[in-house]
Structure 1
């Protein structure tokens, strides 16, 4: 309004005066002065009324927009406070107050979901650690008390039992260290150029006896790229394939078949482990690579595994510049784990 008033005051009167001069002879000087004053008064009155109307409209629009923004912002603030107090299940609905606030609400919900998953993983980790440590610690304590009380004596049997429990604790500590180093990118790699066929041949040879012992078939299929090479650490990739094949064996019933396949897709070598076993529920599929995650908590420790094999496997594949993904049509319909590694076009073997 200040700008409009200034422009009107600077531009309007000279233009109006110029038009009055063109009518010279029709108006005497006093009439000319009266007309110019009337123009100025009318202009000031018009601008004053316009200012009041514009100010009222701006105030109304500001009040409406403030109310429209205040509610979603207050909801976001309340939800953030609850998240800060540990209620990670809090979510906010789309506000409808604009694309920016809707994007903010979506980002907030994504953050809350990740925090909830992280908190659930932490609780499950602590529970698993307590469960895994309880048995060996209790066994060692019982034997030590028996030795102190003279109920039992030191001998080969006592030595074997205590050694087994200490080894179990050592393996648990090694598992935790392995998954930490894998997720922090501290894995040691010795990459070299190797044929893809050698990787799957070695994995097939290592696991064949275990599969035969359980009565599960293990087939090998090199559908494409027999001469394809990748630059990887063969020991680490062998560890990944071993984890995947061990996981497939654990979840495959007797008489079923597991397929180990390799192919070339563009500039990538693809290694698939396909089983006909229990499959993975859609709700569990996004979590299979989380550390210490186990889909079936009813299984015992021996059948379930440690829960970190897939976590370490993905970290190893990521360290090679590849990817590891899982897919399943649902429970009872098997699952497929796919490794993608960049092909090595040449260089010393």
Structure 2
């Protein structure tokens, strides 16, 4: 029989089951309503606690990022004050950011200008808590001494090598938590509240200003103490005397309590009458309805399970055999729908995964390029100032041995830092295929000999026994990149070979290849690490003092640059403390006869009027002093607008302009100078930390004659000026 026939028989045979169902519904609704209220309250309390936890974690994450700022290492509080101010701008819930040192002295707060005397914070609970635990700490509700507002402070330790140097914190107004609660409790008549460790009310979703800072009644406080640390439902009397169902959840980060409450619902008398009548009907007609309910209920319940399984994209379970054809038809339709749904879901997930992976890869590529460009810019500014200072010391400094030694150390460190920047940029360029080789015939043996002589001159080989076995061997290569390969291999050999060790360098022709071999008696390479020595950022075993340094990119550059030359590189080692051998093979070419052309000496340099436009005061001062020592007349400006004004007033022969100026940038300064009377004859020199090909093209398009990348030796700059103005032959 069909389903409708069964239903007709059910209605005809037993009219009473309808009433039975009504009674059952009353019972179920009563129970379900109570359970729903309690479950909903508890889920809401958990959700609100999660939202509060997320808000606190977000602030802690931002504060930890600020705490890692290099400005704190150098006690550059002005720079860190500016960083904190920008962080507050992107965190509108913050009232202020403050910094307290380990002695409890408050260094600054964004509510006052930097340098304003501030009250001591040594006795504040949050300072002691962070210093003792070295972990983030969220305070109880407090009334700010400076802000004069109810606040909660979020504090993180500023950890350095000797422990907690500072306590960095942000103050959140309690109003921010009230807004958060109000957003979570938009619908319904429920109210949410947050209480701190001492049960003081931190925030309330309604009438916050009226109740903030209040303590609970003694009875309510006892209830809170009995349930703290547990999730449970209990009844409580509200501020207005009404009885409330309340749910509690704890916020782990702060040990705060989140309470969500709703009025107790009273059942009406009609419900009780219906329940009594329904009970009587159940007793009268239960037996007659049981058989028919069983015949229909089992297959319908199975179909219901099928529907839930279909929604969850799970395999469909079997349906009991039924005399109702519609049941079998529905089950078959569900099977077909489940297959189609799985197919469409797989296609959709595949598309989404591919799109997400592509977007993430593009973003990572952009972020990496921007990071490397900014890293270069930020490092090259101080390097330029140091390089200029060394040049001045070499001209006007004393000849005492300590002064000479100090100049040598500074110059060597400048060269080292410049090499780090260049290696970082080269890794990025090689990885993205942006390295373009300037190929020409090169005698690799002569290149190695010159490089070792330079190391000898710099006394970098004085602690080692370095031997050369070289014979003329010509390759078609980029001399600068080949020297970079040789420098990385010899640098590693010197670094990882103890004093008194041996380093043997061999260059020779073997068949169709030129072989460069660097063999040392140093610390060697463990067998399990040998296959990874050319991986990017790979680091060998390190001592605790990390005295050997390195970024793990040198050998990666060696491998990539060698492959760009059409060659190969291999590393071998017998094990730890057994030394290492690195062998490079490059395609060999026929020897090329060259002769060095000696140009007649150039004319003497003339004194020029030079304008320096540079926002870094130290770099500007050092460059000015160096150029004045070379006989030039120098004027200067610290920003773009001042540079344009100085150019119009002094009519310089040469303008040296930093591209990254505040306000009017270097490109704009160049355009203004070109439009001034006589501006078309001014030699415009772009001096910047950005040196990618697109940066050079942009400066040329803006009208610059020369693009120099920091750091630049003053002698080199003077040589460029002389060459461009026709004083010295290139």
TM-score normalised by L of structure 1: 0.51
Q: CA deviation at 1:200?
A: 1.4
Q: What is the rounded CA distance, in whole Å, between the counterparts of 1:171 and 1:256 in structure 2?
A: 25
Tell me by how many angstroms 1:234 deviates.
1.2
Aligned twin of 1:275: 520
1:215 aligns with 2:463: yes
Equivalent pairs counted in the alignment come to 205
Match of 2:589 in 1: 344
Say whether 1:149 aligns with 2:115: yes
Q: How far does the alpha carbon of each residue in 1:53-79 deviate from its partner, in whole angstroms, 9 at most, with x for none?
A: xxxxxxxxxxxxxxxxxxxxxxxxxxx
Equivalent residue number for residue 492 of structure 2: 247
Check conservation: 1:211, 1:249, Cα contact below 8 A.
no
1:3-42 to structure 2, matched below 5 A, reads: none
Q: Is 1:139 paired with 2:139?
A: no
Is contact 2:455-2:461 (8 Å) kept? no
Q: Which runs of 5+ in 1 are unaligned?
A: 1-129, 152-161
Residues 473 and 507 in structure 2, CA contact (< 8 A), matched pair in contact too: no
Q: Relative to structure 1, is the Cα distance of residues 343 and 319 closer, same or farther in structure 2, using a 3 angstrom cutoff?
A: same
Q: Which secondary structure does the structure 1 equivalent of 2:548 belong to?
A: helix
Does residue 179 of the first structure (1) align with residue 427 of the second (2)? yes
Whole-angstrom distance in 2 between the partners of 1:170 and 1:262: 28
The Cα offsets for residues 301-345 of structure 1, whole Å up to 9 and x where unpaired, read as 552212101111111111000011111010001000111110013
Higher mean C-alpha displacement, 299-308 vs 261-270: 299-308
Aligned to 1:47: none
> Which whole-Å deviations, capped at 9, do the CAs of 1:211-269 have from their partners, x for residues lacking one?
656511211112xxx34311111111111111111111111111111111112221000
Task: Please give the residue correspondences for 1:47-86 in structure 2 after superposition, counting only pairs within 5 Å.
Answer: none
Partner of 1:206: 454
| One of 190, 199, 224 as aligned partner of 2:438 | 190
What aligned pairs does 1:218-237 form with structure 2 within 5 A after superposition?
A: 218-222=466-470, 226-237=471-482
Q: 1:183 to 1:300 in 2, by over 3 A?
A: farther
* RMSD of equivalent CA atoms: 3.5
* Alpha-carbon distance change, 278 to 197 in structure 1, aligned in 2, over 3 angstroms: same
1:309 partnered with 2:309: no
Measure, in 2, the Cα distance between the counterparts of 1:170 and 1:218. Answer: 26
How far, CA to CA, are the matches of 1:193 and 1:304 in structure 2?
35
Cα distance between partner residues in 2 of 1:258 and 1:278: 12
Higher helix fraction (1 or 2) = 1
Q: 1:234 to 1:150 in 2, by over 3 A?
A: farther
Instruction: Give unmatched runs, 5+ long, in structure 2.
Output: 1-63, 81-106, 109-113, 118-380, 386-413, 595-730
Would you tell me which structure has more strand in proportion to its own residues? Answer: 2
Change (3 A) 1:207 1:169: closer
- Report Cα offsets for 1:186-232 as digits up to 9, x if no partner: 2131111122221211221122245656511211112xxx3431111
1:257 aligns with 2:502: yes
TM-score, scaled relative to structure 2: 0.26
SS of the aligned residue for 2:498 comes to coil
Map of 1:93 onto structure 2: none
Q: Deviations over 1:27-77 (max 9, x none)?
A: xxxxxxxxxxxxxxxxxxxxxxxxxxxxxxxxxxxxxxxxxxxxxxxxxxx
Displacement after TM superposition at 1:137 (Å) = 4.8
Structure 1 residues 303 and 163 mapped into 2: Cα distance closer, same or farther (>3 Å)? same
Kept after mapping to 2: 8 A contact 1:185/1:315: no
- CA distance in 2 between counterparts of 1:231 and 1:320 reads 8
Quickly say closer, same or farther: Cα 1:194–1:173, change in 2 above 3 A: closer
Distance of 2:448 and 2:577 partners within structure 1: 26
Secondary structure at the aligned position of 1:304 is classed as coil
Structure with larger RCO (C-alpha < 8 A, sep 6+): 1
C-alpha separation between the residues in 2 aligned to 1:179 and 1:150?
Answer: 46
Q: Residues 252 and 317 (structure 1 numbering): CA distance in 2 closer, same or farther, change over 3 Å?
A: same
Measured in 1, the distance between the counterparts of 2:490 and 2:543 equals 22
Asked if structure 2 preserves the Cα contact closer than 8 Å seen for 1:193 and 1:348, the reply is no
Q: Distance in 2 between matches of 1:312 and 1:299?
A: 26
Change (3 A) 1:231 1:142: same
